[in-house]
Homo-oligomer: A and B are copies of this chain.
Amino acid sequence: MQEFAALANSLADKAGEIVKKYYRASLDIERKENDSPVTKADKEIEQALREMINKTRPDDGILGEEYGFQGSKSGLTWVIDPIDGTESFMIGRPTFGTLIALCDDITPKLGIIDQAIIKERWIGIKGEQTTLNGQEIKTRACKSIYDAIIGSTTPYMFSKLTDYGRAYEIFEKTGNHIVWGGDCYMYGLLSSGHLDVAFEEDLKPHDFAALIPIVKGAGGHISDWRGDELTLNSVGKVIAVGDPELWPEIDRIIRKSPY
């Protein structure tokens, strides 16, 4: 695993170099069909990282946000989101991140969240304690939903009224103690013990794969909304809970929701 961690760190270093070149610079913004902004930085990072992986481990698969899927011969697949939180990146707010995951078949075993501007890197490896900049971290205790601080990225990510209904019931239970604008960075903060719940929808595998070993290795629960393990085949309904003992209470709220 150390060999993979070394490569993952090199990939994150390279991504950070490119991020710094474009951060708060003028960018020609394209719009994808789904209207999310794509930046030159996004593409340049993914191209550079694909080249590095293909050179070092040509038999590994690659799944990236920008350039799709390259099949795996080794059984291992790298999953890359060059810039998660593109909106934050575009407005010059340093709470976006580069996400890198390594999956064994469809299951993430290693994940990195890298925030290159304020130099914060979370690394999660299956079976090891998660670290932030090399220091071991863990999630915090939270015994009741009423005490929880919950994070999400935008209310608009809940695509159907039924899904927003479920989200809303959870938000309401916390006294609407909710922080918006989360992106990947909030899963790092949850893993570091500063946030209790992250609740999101409409995430793609490149958005959540890296988060799984990070949250789990810090002692937290992360799954889909039904409590099932997240894999590259999951639909993007993601919940992370810092204190796993809080999960059954949230599970009950979701199951009892009339929506």
Q: From A94, A117, A175, A186, name the one whose CB has the most chain B CB atoms within 10 angstroms.
A: A94
Q: In the complex, which of the residues B90, B117, B118, B180 contacts A194, with contact meaning CB atoms closer than 8 Å?
A: B90
Of the candidate stretches A47-55, A152-160, A222-230, A245-253, the one touching chain B is: A152-160
Encode contact with B along A69-98: 1 for CB under 8 Å, 0 otherwise.
Answer: 000000000000000000110111111000
Q: In the complex, which of the residues B91, B92, B154, B192 contacts A24, with contact meaning CB atoms closer than 8 Å?
A: B192
State whether A87 and B192 are in contact (beta carbons under 8 Å apart), knowing that A93-B185, A94-B118 are contacts in the complex: no
Given the complex of chains A and B, what is the CA–CA distance between A178 and B37 in angstroms? 12
State whether A178 and B154 are in contact (beta carbons under 8 Å apart), knowing that A93-B95, A192-B92 are contacts in the complex: yes
Do A24 and B180 have beta carbons less than 8 Å apart?
Answer: no
Q: Return chain B residues, CB-CB under 8 Å to A181.
A: 95, 179-182
Nearest Cβ in chain B — how far from A3, in angstroms?
A: 32
Encode contact with B along A106-145: 1 for CB under 8 Å, 0 otherwise.
Answer: 0000000000011000000000000000000000000000
State whether A149 and B118 are in contact (beta carbons under 8 Å apart), knowing that A95-B93, A181-B181 are contacts in the complex: no
Do A194 and B154 have beta carbons less than 8 Å apart?
Answer: no
The secondary structure that dominates the A interface is loop
Q: Return chain B residues, CB-CB under 8 Å to A179.
A: 87-88, 90-91, 93, 181
State whether A149 and B91 are in contact (beta carbons under 8 Å apart), knowing that A24-B194, A194-B24 are contacts in the complex: yes
9 nearest CB pairs, A to B: A181-B181, A180-B180, A92-B194, A180-B181, A91-B195, A87-B179, A91-B194, A92-B189, A91-B189
A interface residues (Cβ-Cβ under 8 A, vs B)? 24, 35, 37, 87-88, 90-95, 117-118, 149, 151, 153-156, 175-182, 185-186, 189, 192, 194-195
Extra 19 A-B pairs, beta carbons < 8 Å, given A87-B179, A155-B155: A24-B194, A35-B177, A90-B194, A91-B186, A91-B195, A92-B192, A93-B179, A93-B185, A94-B94, A94-B118, A95-B95, A118-B118, A154-B178, A154-B180, A155-B180, A156-B176, A156-B178, A179-B181, A181-B182
